[in-house]
Structures are given as C-alpha cells and as structure tokens.
C-alpha cells in the first residue's frame, strides 16, 4: 500500500475535547430553554455537525425542533467554544509523537474534521505542535460537512494525490461513510463511542484500538 498522505479526524481519533464539548452543548441548550443533556448522550453526538447535534439532543428530550433554532444552537455553541474549547482539549498520549514519526517518514499529515480550522490551529499551538500537520480542513472550510466527501476531495486536490495514495483515519461511522463516499481507504479507530464491530461493517483496511497499530499498514514496526 503506497500511501503518501495520512488524513485524520480529530475528536476521539487524535484527541479528546469531551469536557469542552459538554460545556458548550449545555450552554447552548440552556440559552435556548432546554434541559442540560447527559454527558454520554453528548459524547454520542461528537463528530456530527452542530445542526445535527441540536436535532439529536432536542428530539431526545421529547421536544420538537423549531425552525431556525439549529442555527441559534450553532452560534451559541461556537460562542462558548471560543472561550473554553482549546483549554479543555488534549491530544491522546503518544499521538503527537506518532504524527512526528510519520512526518519524518515522508508522509503528508492532514486533519479533516468538523471542528473549525482555527480551533485545530489553536490546539496545535497550545501543544507547540504546529509543524506536525501539513493541512487542516475544518468544518468552516467546506460547504458540505462529513459524511459528504468534500473535505477529503479538497485534501486530495491540494496535495495532488490520487485516491489510492490517501488513507483516512477516523473513529466514527460518519468517518467511515466519508471515506467510502470519497473512495479512499479507511482505518477505523475504536477509541471513541463506536465499537470495533460497528466500524467493521464499513469498508476498511483496518480497525484498531490504538493509533500506533497503523504502523503495520505502513510497513513499519
């Protein structure tokens, strides 16, 4: 497998921002007059775009969605996220070291996520890791969020790679569907709320529980 680019989802693939997301979701819900959602209910929405998060959580409370309120939810979420998200986000242990190792091996390293690009840039800056990532495509850089393949296709175009040369790594079924739609190889990471069995239901070249296991696909270690 002659991959030249490795593109990663962020949440539950490279890192964890659960505390920040829970705070932002419940701030937005509270401002709109809804009860706070439980941590596990919120965790299961991580990876969805904000309008979907609103829909899942509001209907989960037995309430009807109100026209245009998903946009209000998104605005309020972002308002709070600008205050707390970076502080409450960390890379998984060893993730930055692995990115550095793969970069030294000559792979292009990218992040394709629903998180906004500037948020990822802030997190990398906080960790003094800006030089490890060659390309960030956030939710604010696409017109159609995952599982639409627009983000992956942008990465292919900007890197000048064929579909066969890019590997997409993610933890959710949204990520699996994104890779399938983009017709690129996919590695599922059972490091979030999606199980190994669920990830294996979609086309994949591997499903792992530790990021370092990808080395086997790359002919390392």
| Strands in 26-127 per DSSP E | 90-91, 108-112
pLDDT-derived band at 202, boundaries 50, 70, 90: very high
Tally: H helices and E strands in the chain: 9, 8
Written as six digits, the tokens of 175 are 């990520």
pLDDT in tens, 100-119: 999 999 999 999 999 999 99
Instruction: Let me know: does 60 contact 41? Beta carbons within 8 Å.
Output: yes
Note the pLDDT tens digit of each residue in 35-84. 999 999 999 999 899 999 999 999 999 999 999 999 999 999 999 999 99
The Cα 136–Cα 9 span in angstroms is 10
Mean residue pLDDT of the chain comes to 96
CA-wise closest residue to 36 among 12, 72, 60: 60
Q: Quick one: pLDDT at residue 204? A: 98
How far apart are the C-alpha atoms of 188 and 207, rounded to whole Å? 4
What local confidence, expressed as pLDDT, does residue 171 receive?
98
**Rounded distance, CA 117 to CA 49, Å?**
14
For residue 161, pLDDT beyond 80: yes
Taking only Cα atoms into account, the Rg of the chain, rounded to an integer number of angstroms, comes to 17
Q: Which helix (H) or strand (E) holds 174?
A: helix 173-182
What DSSP designation does 33 have?
T
Q: Flag whether pLDDT at 127 surpasses 90.
A: yes
Q: Using a cut of 0.95, tell me whether the model's pTM lies above it.
A: no
Phi, psi torsion values for 210, nearest 5 degrees? -140, 140
Domains assigned to the chain: 5-16+90-216 (3.40.50.1000), 18-84 (1.10.150.240)
pLDDT tens for 21-32 read 999 999 999 999
- In angstroms, the Cα distances linking 204 to 10, 68, 112, 197, 199 are 18, 37, 18, 12, 8
Helix axes 18-31, 69-84, angle to 10 degrees: 140
- Largest separation between any pair of C-alpha atoms in the chain: 53
Cβ distance 14 to 111 under 8 Å? yes
Q: What is the pLDDT of residue 219?
A: 82
**Tokens 């939810």 correspond to what residue?**
73
Using an 8 Å Cβ cutoff, are 136 and 111 in contact? yes
pLDDT-based confidence at 1, cuts 50/70/90?
low
């Amino acid at each position: 497998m002659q991959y030249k680019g490795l593109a990663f989802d962020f949440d539950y693939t490279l890192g964890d921002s659960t505390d920040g997301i829970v705070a932002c979701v419940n701030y937005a819900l509270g401002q709109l007059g809804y009860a706070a959602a439980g941590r596990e209910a919120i965790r299961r929405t991580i990876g969805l775009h904000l309008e979907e998060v609103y829909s899942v959580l509001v209907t989960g409370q037995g309430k009807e969605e109100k026209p245009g309120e998903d946009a209000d939810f998104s605005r309020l979420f972002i308002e709070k996220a600008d205050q707390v998200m970076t502080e409450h986000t960390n890379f998984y242990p060893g993730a930055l070291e692995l990115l550095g190792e793969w970069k030294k091996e000559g792979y292009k390293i990218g992040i394709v996520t629903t998180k906004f690009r500037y948020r990822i840039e802030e997190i990398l800056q906080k960790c003094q890791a800006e030089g490890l990532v060659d390309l960030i495509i956030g939710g604010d850089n696409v017109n159609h969020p995952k599982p639409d393949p627009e983000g992956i296709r942008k990465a292919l175009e900007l890197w000048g790679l064929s579909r066969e040369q890019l590997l997409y790594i993610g933890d959710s079924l949204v990520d699996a569907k994104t890779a399938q739609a983009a017709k690129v190889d996919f590695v599922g990471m059972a490091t979030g709320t999606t199980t190994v069995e669920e990830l294996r239901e979609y086309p994949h070249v591997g499903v792992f529980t530790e990021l370092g296991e990808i080395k086997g696909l790359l002919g390392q270690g």
